[in-house]
Amino acid sequence: MSSDDNTPAPHFIRNIIENDLASGKHKAIVTRFPPEPNGYLHVGHAKSICLNFGLALDYRGKCNLRFDDTNPEKESEEYAQSIQDDVRWLGFQWDGAVRWASDYFDALYDYAIELIKQGKAYVDELSAEEMREFRGTLTEAGKNSPYRDRSAEENLDLFGRMRAGEFPDGAKVLRAKIDMASPNINMRDPAIYRIRRAHHIRTGDKWCIYPMYDYTHCISDALEHITHSLCTLEFEDHRPLYDWVLDNITIDCHPQQIEFSRLELQYTITSKRKLLQLVTEKRVSGWDDPRMPTIQGMRRRGYTPEGIREFTRRIGISKSDNLVDMSVLEGCIREDLEARAPRVMAVVKPLKVVITNFIEGETASREAGFHPNHPEFGSRVVPFSKEIWIEADDFSETPPPGWQRLVPGGEVRLRYSYVIKCDEVVKGADGQVAELRCSIDPDTLGKNPAGRKVKGVIHWLSAEHALPAEIRLYDRLFTVAEPDADKTRDFHEFLNPASLTVVHAWVESCVNQAAPETRYQFERLGYFCTDRRDHEPGGKLVFNRTVTLKDSWTKEQG
């Protein structure tokens, strides 16, 4: 499953794991996926999910799902549930029960006591501003806090009183005592506990002090006996702190932290803060808006788990910048859908055509398969009637060079049906084309006309049998490849005003009972998916455009 029957791409993390297993350093691997439940997951998280769970599958190991719930004000059960849904939808299952950093709050507190007793942690009461000032810069060493040399007894007393709620929020923090002159700012006595009176989604009001991420994460990994702790490159400078904490407490496991480049996808953003902004400012309809790069958004748009997994395999794992063109993702989705999506017809810009020589009971309909390469998908009858819909874009009074669609006096084949000839153009009071009057060649149902060649093939629908549908044509959310690259400009400036166009269209009646999240290829138009929220089988039909077609089949015969 992890690589969809493709050979896993080699990369430096696989090399490390294979060496560790070959040397006997580890008998089996244990990885983890550790999101914070403070938002919905996006395509960058999909890369991490596929890496962590995929490696565990490939090497017959285990992968834990652990929520980093150390920041209670921003966390919710809604986010936690959506993350679990996303992991399962992508095709993975974590080992055992869901784990939470809060499962270890008592142990984390005890390890903090151990550090204090060793003289390796102290309670500080500098203000946040003073702490920044004392920290120094990239080129200047920091200064020791005046509270740094408190005795272990005093620090134990103060830390206990912090836990008991004696001090206001922000009045004191517990800091690791490492080195204020370290060239790595993360090692300049980082805070490991802060006072924060916030209701926690799992522990309620039991705690008014919460551990910091860097302190929590490494201990949680060790308690779960993680072998390879995989994270993105922004944590590379935090690795010395990860190792320092584990080296200075009594614990029987020391995972190896390994960093890889995060995924940046063109024409979108992957900052959780900015994605939240789009949601709260109602620039999109929600976290699962099909234009969003969230897993929920991609799912609602019609992307497949298999296509996303193939995308993460294709872009690879490395330490170099990973700015990927959106076309790579779209290509993976298109390739996957090409093989699995049944093909039907829809008309999004309808132009009425009246068949002048239609004879009731004699002019025939024809059966058509749902996929040329998958007869097992079955077939349906494509009904024909006196009035049909074609795409307005498939007719031109003044066609450009090379035009192979319908023109006045010209012929074209209707997909799965007859060759028709445009005999008359009827215009409305506004001078626009209102309808076409056409005649069929009755000898061309399922065969080519005698003595002449008709090149063009267009899709169409019987007006009598077609069903109305709302079709949402989605495009890229931003107009530029890197919308937040220019820090002098607000990324909102680059939102694409044409990222969603809603049209009232017509579809084949065979899709009437399609369940939400059913995917189709609308021939010549693209891949579409019934909306998982608004679509009602047998009622209001709502389709989202997943991705356009790479090539049309204009030369294909019906």
Question: Does any domain span residue 181?
Answer: yes
Q: How confident is the model at residue 8 (pLDDT cuts 50, 70, 90)?
A: confident
Question: Does any domain span residue 120?
Answer: yes
Domain count, the chain: 2
Residue 447 pLDDT greater than 70, yes or no: yes
Picking from 462, 487, 517, the residue at the C-terminal end of a domain is 462
Question: Does any domain span residue 115?
Answer: yes
Question: Does any domain span residue 307?
Answer: no
Query: 311 and 332 in contact (C-beta within 8 Å)?
Result: yes
DSSP string, 353-377: EEETT--TTTS--EEEES-TT-GGG
The pLDDT score that the predictor gives to residue 369 is 97
> Which residues are within 8 A (CB) of 297 and not within 5 positions of it... i.e. 6 or more apart?
40, 287, 288, 289, 290, 291
The mean predicted confidence, pLDDT, of the chain is 95
Rounded-to-integer distance, Cα 193 and Cα 207, Å: 11
The pLDDT score that the predictor gives to residue 556 is 39
Residue range of the domain that includes 430:
345-462
Looking up residue 196, the CATH number of its domain turns out to be 3.90.800.10
Looking up residue 416, the CATH number of its domain turns out to be 2.40.240.10
Question: Does any domain span residue 392?
Answer: yes
Rounded-to-integer distance, Cα 338 and Cα 371, Å: 9
Q: How confident is the model at residue 6 (pLDDT cuts 50, 70, 90)?
A: low
Of 450 and 440, the structure prediction assigns the larger pLDDT to 440
Rounded-to-integer distance, Cα 517 and Cα 364, Å: 33
Which residue has tokens 């080519």? 448
Give helix 305-315 / helix 43-58 axis angle, nearest 10°.
Answer: 80
Rounded-to-integer distance, Cα 304 and Cα 292, Å: 15
Question: Does any domain span residue 328?
Answer: no
pTM flag (> 0.85): yes
Picking from 212, 244, 272, the residue at the C-terminal end of a domain is 212
**What's the pLDDT tens digit per position in 499-556?**
999 999 999 999 999 999 999 999 999 999 999 999 999 999 999 999 999 733 233 3
The pLDDT score that the predictor gives to residue 446 is 85
Cα dihedral angle (276, 277, 281, 282), rounded to 10 degrees? -40
Question: Does any domain span residue 501?
Answer: no
SS3 state at 522: strand
Residues known to be catalytic: 36, 262, 272
DSSP string, 121-158: EEEE---HHHHHHHH--SSS-----TTTT--HHHHHHH
Question: Does any domain span residue 485?
Answer: no
Picking from 435, 462, 489, the residue at the C-terminal end of a domain is 462
